[in-house]
Chain A
Amino acid sequence: MPHASVVVFATLVAVMSLVPLGFIGWVTADVGWQTVKALVFRPRVGELLVNTILLEALTIPLSIVLAVTLAWLTERTNVPVPRLWSWLAVAPLAVPAFVHSYAWVSLVPGMRGLQSGVFVSVLAYYPFLYLPVAAALRRLDPAIEDAAASLGLGPWRVFFRAILPQLRLAICGGSLLIGLHLLSEYGLYVMIRFDTFSTAIVDQFQSAYNSPAANMLGGVLVACCLFLLGLEILLRGNERYARVGSGSARPADRRHLGWFVVPGVLLPGTLGVLTLGVPLMTLGRWLYLGGTEIWRLDAVGNAFVQTIVLAVAGGVLTSIAAAPMAWLSVRAPGRFQRLLEACHYYVGSLPGVVVALALVTITVRLALPLYQTFATLIVAYVLLFLPRAMVGLRASIAQAPVELERAAMGLGRTPSQAVRQITMRLAAPGFAASVALSALGITNELTATLMLSPNGVETLATKFWSLTSEIDYVSAAPYAVMMIVLSLPLTLLLYAQSKRTAGQ
């Protein structure tokens, strides 16, 4: 097996991802136990912990129910125009979370607190679950359901006993992604005044930059991520999901909804209004109020180009960095690999500020030529979006049967040739999807970009944020529109990828 080089590469990435954690550890050791105790065990941290737990415990189950229902509707029933609904279910990804949030606050000024946080989070993030679940549903071999039905199970029980278990990987992966997003999201919760660890860290940050208080909050946040990660590993299990056998799976029949077609259309329709209608309406109003003068081409155009550049470069590099680990986690799971994988995942759940702070401090003290350079910002992006890239890649590698690799080697290919010629090709759609996902994340990344960008680099997200914080919503509108425009092709690509089955 071509392990050695892959393991080395994955280890390097893992070591890099430990930098922020090491930084927090160093600060902890530096300030001493007394200070740590005073900063961690205080009522404020308790408040934040309760907020975070409630947010996770409510948002994730709701998102699962919503995503699975929608995926089943669009993939397995005769609901009219399923293509449209499935596109609408993915489209919210093109709207940055903080734009969702702002749109709702404009519409319902009193929106705040936990319920609002859960509401907007579900709307902004459920596509992360819909995508993998719909893709998995499309690939399922209906023979298993037929077998279950022939054993006398009714349609509901077939769903819960034959279909749902096969969606486990997709649901776990997607839920983890959402869970991590909830931990690190900043802009969304600021807009609706819901305090999480990330918002509190930024508050501390703006008050005292790299204070021990900010880093201790970061430490608690890391503990939360590790907990989620462990939970996902527990729930994921290690069954095989690749189909092996003669022939190929036939497409599944679509179930006739009968009069259920009415709620079947209403549900995705309503969601479309909530996730797309509301933001577009708000933006439309701003643009109408602003007229033509808000389209200052120099500023908007400049931010647009810089955002594209960062998103593409960062997206490609993130996926390359994630690939070895994704391959290892599928092909050669083991205790050490689990550890490496954990490193890859935890780092993406750190808020941008924690990663950025570590990188700022390290570059300014130890690697001055890298301070405030493009390279450092890209490193931050790679770290922040590793989990996104991993999820897409792991799922697509898992669907490339290992038997094909072995067969290729039996026919005289070297292990690395076999991986290159078989698995890489089969996983290519997954790679493209992971580039798109990371690039999407980068397009809308705020806090790390603010801190690490080279002087004079401004992205759409940072411009939008500074203008909205100046209460200049009218001038901010073009930036939000451009973010959406930029995210659309990436979202389309994602959608197209998820429509294809692996190996085609």
Chain B
Amino acid sequence: MIHKEIVIVGGGPAGLSAGIEAAKYGAEVLIIDENHLVGGQLFKQIHKFFGSREHKAGMRGFSIGRDLLEEINKSENIELWLNSEVIGINKEKELLVVPKDQGVVEIKAEKIILATGAIEKSIYFPGWDLPGVMGAGAAQTMMNVHRILPGKKVLMIGSGNVGVIISYQMIQGGAEVVGILEASSTLGGYGVHTAKVTRAGVPFYRPYTIKRAIGEDCVEGAEIVQIDSQWQPVEGTEVILEVDLICMATGFNPLTELAWMSGCQFTYIPELGGQVPTHNDRLETTVKGIYIAGDISGIEEASTAMEEGKLAGVHAAHSLGYLSKEKEKVERNKIWERLNDLRSGPMDIKRKNGKELMFLKYNEGCIND
């Protein structure tokens, strides 16, 4: 069995930031990612980020990813395993890993940071299994990573930031976005994003949902219908749109399998995206020495994921003796100030409330073992 100080599962914005932060203080870090390159969503994100300078605002996501990767490569304390899947984990912080083309490797970690991210949610409708129906994230990956435009005429379902940002990127990629559906009474995304797709000629349909995808072997169209306040279809309001791609941007669930397997307690907090490992304000779970960061701890943005990664990284390094209690507190407070900034507006307040509820639950019910 290989021994490691800090093992981070997931090399997205949270995992990379956690690794950089912990290594900065001298801790030895192993980052494991199942993909062929790290960066998570960052390398798909060709838009400029919000926030302040400390949050790398104004930079495009892939530039942030490139900078993080550079720091990882520069650090002597960070090891990177790509194409490697973690298939098992237990309370003793032992991991089973399958690196590509090798057998199973066993690792005993002193600290683990789970930064496994999230998975897109689907909605189901007749024809949803036709080729040409996909998650908005899949379309974004095809376009921005693999340089393949998955459709020419696109229907987007969901007007949250993901739906509008990816719609905008589809237009940049040369597609026409025929419409964006929103089932709620108000549009979900930031107004600046909805405004930029509107002036690019994209109509919003609200409150609308999809009735069916049309097509024999692939998507050739979509029938959409207005819904009432009870979310019931309003007869006679159906519209048929000629599209060859239907994208769903209908939310995310935290990717929590490893956390379940490790024996962490969970708390159900809808504001954070459902069942989330119970954690404190250092992002430690109810299993001492196992931390979480990023979307697994509640669905948010890459900027908050990076700050959370730093938070987990600082505390993990501190608990290994790499930085003093006082220093850890100073660093933690700085990160919390930035996190509170990011969660301070009316658009983001529900996540702040969700987090506060979570810390309360942790303090109520936590029995560290």
Q: Do A and B bind each other?
A: no
Q: Which residues of A contact B (CB under 8 A)?
A: none
